[in-house]
Amino acid sequence: MKNSTLLAIDLAKTHFQVCKLLPDDTEHSNKQIGRAALTKLLSTHKPALVAMESCGGAHHWARLAKSFGHTVKLIHPKAVKGLLVGQKTDKNDAFAIAIAARMAHLRSCAILTPENQGANKGGRSQLTRNRRDTHVGARVGCERSCDLRHQG
């Protein structure tokens, strides 16, 4: 995908930072846009490599970009963090995502379907519940043993 334009997107709740690199790796633009503008950009832009930091919301935007014919690369946040230049700003984050996307050896994360995302979310809450219950059980067990020592 070295011969295509790269759109590196730093995701947020309402505004997104989009860094556009040309095929020769020169920065064309790095600007903040809203949700509607991002949807319009993805729908009207010719097919490009779209890169995002992998997070819960990234899967939605990745599916949308794929539906418009773009190639999508979700990058693990730790890989992006190591490439950050300067202070942590949205502009610098988007540029770091662009740099990471051009690195051939970095594997991208899988794009999850809404069903897979829901299944993973349920698994995490079950895991959290088990940890909490185990922790509470351990605390109760400790309190009981302390009570027994003081009774003796």
Per-residue pLDDT reduced to its tens digit, 96-134: 999 999 887 877 888 888 888 777 655 555 666 666 666
Same domain for 86 and 126, yes or no, is no
Same domain for 70 and 131, yes or no, is no
Is 108 domain-assigned? Answer: no
For residue 139, the enclosing domain spans 113-152
Same domain for 132 and 57, yes or no, is no
Name the pTM for this structure: 0.73
Identify the CATH number of the domain in which residue 34 sits.
3.30.420.40
Is 107 domain-assigned? Answer: no
Q: List, edge to edge, every strand of the sheet that includes 27-34.
A: 27-34, 15-21, 6-10, 49-53, 71-75
Amino acid, res. 27: E
pLDDT of residue 121: 59
Same domain for 93 and 26, yes or no, is yes
pLDDT of residue 64: 94
CB-based burial label for 17 (10 Å; 0-12, 13-18, 19+): buried
Same domain for 93 and 120, yes or no, is no
Same domain for 56 and 22, yes or no, is yes
**Whole-angstrom Cα distance, residue 31 to residue 17?**
6
Count how many domains the chain has: 2
